[in-house]
Amino acid sequence: MSTPERELTFAEAVREALAEEMRRDPNVFIMGEDVAEAGTPFKVLSGLVEEFGKERVMDTPISEPGFTGMGVGAAITGMRPVIDIMFGDFLTLTMDQIVNQAAKIHYMSGGKMKAPIVFRTTMGATRRSGAQHSQSLQAWVSHVPGLKVVIPSTPYDAKGLLKTAIRDDNPVVFIEDKMIFKMKGPVPAEEYTIPFGVADIKRKGDDITLVATSSMVQIALGAAEKLSQIGISAEVIDPRTTSPLDKQAFIESAKKTSRAIVIDEGYEAYGVTAEIASVIAHGAFYYLDAPVTRMGAMDVPIPFSPALEDLTVPTEETVFQMAKMLCGKT
Amino acid sequence: MTNKTESVTKRSPERVEGSKPDAMDIEKWLHVYEQMVKIREFEEKANELYLRAIMPGLTHLYSGQEAVAVGVCEALRREDYITSTHRGHGHCLAKGASVDLMFAELLGKEAGYCRGKGGSMHIADPASGNLGANAIVGGSAGIATGAALSAKKRGSDQVAVCFFGEGALGQGILYEVMNMASLWKLPVIYVCENNLYNEYTHYSEALAGEVTARAKAFGIHAETIDGQDVQLVYETTKRLVERARRGEGPAFLECLTYRYYGHHVGDISRTYYRSKEEEQEWRNTRDPLKLLADKLVEGKLTDQSVLDRIQVDVKSEVEKGMQFGIDAPYPAQSEVNQHVYA
């Protein structure tokens, strides 16, 4: 008798991964602003302090560099901290600790030290949060050797990848789209993890490849559905981690379809899309029938007004139009 | 700018001399003396390697501040943690690093503490509790405080010492972590080595208010002491360490000291920011090695010949260590992309 497929929200999947890993390993603890009783403003951590207590779900003062740095110190001395950086925009405050300290400790010490630490943070616009609470800064951290970067798009991926992140011996930046915390999806009750550096094909197709990350996966899937109605078969691939990057998966898909659009919610200039597009342009050069195209956030500070904010990010419609054009349909 | 010519005595704290060395402890004080001589000799050779163009890059010499590193580290156990600074050779040696592997690291050799990948400003030796020097001023404040948090979480009675210069008092992270250390009564001791100069600028031009008042604002126990008196540094640290081990929380120790050389080995013409007379006055009247030697000899706890012997032995050890570093091979080219990830 098969059990009905269990569904969790993205937030519940994240919380379950944390709870399971905290039960498994007493060295795992959470530290950040309003993580305990408040469970973060997004309520992702609700209930954890009740199970694990305030020693393991630690509320901190509003001191991002301070508690991030303390996490690094705890990580190199035997603990496995999960640091909560409420908004991805606040990564900018923690950059010295993540980039100059955590990312380099293993290398600078000639392999003698390691920093097993997860920096959980968020990304994503269209929440009407203004320019300092809406950015998607995955390119900033993906640029730094020594860091691993995870940007899950579904509850299933979020849970499996977060468990892997906590068990990894390296600093991992784990970026959650704050607009999909309530999105539901199948998550098996049985234990599982997902390896880093393995892209996932979210929809199979033959005519065009849509490489999409995090928030853009649903956009790409929506566009693919619309494309199918006009006879274009789009393949949607989610890298799931930008570092390590599953280069071969994009190359193989583009070789098959001969067209590719790379979609990520970070700023387009110097973005994640640039890196992936370059990988495809190089690896699938002789197979391409159209230039590899990038779609990211418009290169402006994210505006507050909904009338303007919605213009800054790719949508189903803009992706649909771009794909249609690349496939030569007018 | 009046402070630039501030005399040595004027900036000295209410001088509380360390208690008189006990004859029973003479072995300890000879060891302390040896450690300070080792740092002094090491730095002389490091400078020489720079002048002979053997050493890649620059380095920041610790000469003049030996009593702080040695006094503090002698009050620690091997498993206690330290974090260090860009001027870190003294801390590393005082915590138990050996000169040969230090030289090898300074010269970028595979035998070095970090396989030559760290260099002078990034020497780490977790085996001796040294969590690493740091080239970001104030950059290790979070790490030291986090190590103390970790010690507390693991139920160990380790303490962490965060060494930093008075220049780091300009960095915000220090205040963030002192706040948390006090809130959570973490076993961390913030050792501020006030050597008067933030790189090329007298600290009085960069610092408002009182140094220890910063820590006191967080409810952290704070003291200012003569950092040239190794016995005083040792005894004070010992008291603060015991306090921290008992769970009574963090402490802040300002050690008044002096950097004999420039900000780094290439900083030779320094008269635009400090006078030669000032440098000479510190060397003549406040040298930490000489202060201890005088105390031991005048107190008839040892003979000058014993101290001379230590000098000779250490010199030989340091010379051998330097030669080891010079002779050691560079890492293989295949090392370049190893250890990026664990």
pTM: 0.95
Nearest-CA neighbor of A134 among A304, A308, A269, A307? A304
Please report whether residue B123 resides in a domain: yes
> Residue with structure tokens 């003549």?
B284
Residue-wise pLDDT tens digits, B235-250:
999 999 999 999 999 9
Residue-wise pLDDT tens digits, B19-57:
666 766 999 999 999 999 999 999 999 999 999 999 999
Which of A64, A235, A265, A309 is labelled catalytic? Answer: A64
| A7-186 and A200-326 agree in CATH topology | yes
Pick from A29, A67, A145: CB nearest B340:
A145
Q: Give, as one character, the DSSP assignment of residue A122.
A: E
Contact indicator for A119, A75 with CB cutoff of 8 Å: no
Domain A200-326 has CATH 3.60.15.10: no
The structural architecture, per CATH, of the domain A7-186 is 3-Layer(aba) Sandwich (3.40)
CATH number, domain at B150?
A: 3.40.50.970
Q: In what side-by-side order are the strands of the sheet with A260-267?
A: A200-203, A234-238, A208-212, A260-267, A293-297
- Residue B9 pLDDT: 43
- Residue A330 pLDDT: 72
Domain that holds residue B210: 25-321
Please report whether residue B143 resides in a domain: yes
Inter-chain CB proximity A77 and B151 less than 8 Å: yes
For the cut 50, the answer to whether the pLDDT of residue B4 exceeds it is no
Quick check: ipTM above 0.85? yes
Residues of chain A falling short of pLDDT 70:
1-4
Residue A36 corresponds to which tokens in the numbers above?
A: 């305990």
- Among A52, A97, A109, most B C-beta atoms within 10 A, so best to mutate, is A109
Nearest-CA neighbor of A28 among A58, A69, A66, A50? A58
Please report whether residue B73 resides in a domain: yes
Chain B residues within an 8 Å CB radius of A148: 341
How does strand A241-243 pair with strand B81-83? unpaired
Q: How confident is the model at residue B2 (pLDDT cuts 50, 70, 90)?
A: very low
CA–CA dist A236, A211 (Å, integer): 6
Please report whether residue B2 resides in a domain: no
CA–CA dist B314, B74 (Å, integer): 18
Please report whether residue B16 resides in a domain: no
Number of domains in chain B: 1
Nearest-CA neighbor of B289 among B21, B38, B25? B38
CA–CA dist B289, A154 (Å, integer): 64
Nearest-CA neighbor of A129 among A41, A19, A240, A197? A41
Measured over the CA atoms of residue B107, residue B112, residue B115 and residue B121, the dihedral's sign is negative
> Residue with structure tokens 């490849």?
A209
How does strand B197-198 pair with strand B201-202? antiparallel
Q: How confident is the model at residue B16 (pLDDT cuts 50, 70, 90)?
A: low
Examine the residue annotation and report whether A282 is marked as an active-site residue of this protein: no
Inter-chain CB proximity A61 and B180 less than 8 Å: yes
Contact indicator for B334, B58 with CB cutoff of 8 Å: no
Name the average pLDDT for chain B.
94
Contact indicator for A224, A203 with CB cutoff of 8 Å: yes
Count of other CB atoms within 10 angstroms of residue B125: 25
Percent of chain B with pLDDT over 90: 93
- Residue B3 pLDDT: 44
Q: Where are the domains of chain A?
A: 7-186, 200-326
Examine the residue annotation and report whether A20 is marked as an active-site residue of this protein: no
Residue-wise pLDDT tens digits, A10-20:
999 999 999 99
Inter-chain CB proximity A61 and B177 less than 8 Å: no
Q: How confident is the model at residue B147 (pLDDT cuts 50, 70, 90)?
A: very high
- Residue B15 pLDDT: 54
CA–CA dist B145, B338 (Å, integer): 29
- Helix/strand/coil percent split, chain B, to 5: 50, 10, 40
Residue in B with minimal Cα distance to A101: B139
Q: Give, as one character, the DSSP assignment of residue B125.
A: B
Contact indicator for B311, B37 with CB cutoff of 8 Å: yes
Residue B271 corresponds to which tokens in the numbers above?
A: 């008269």
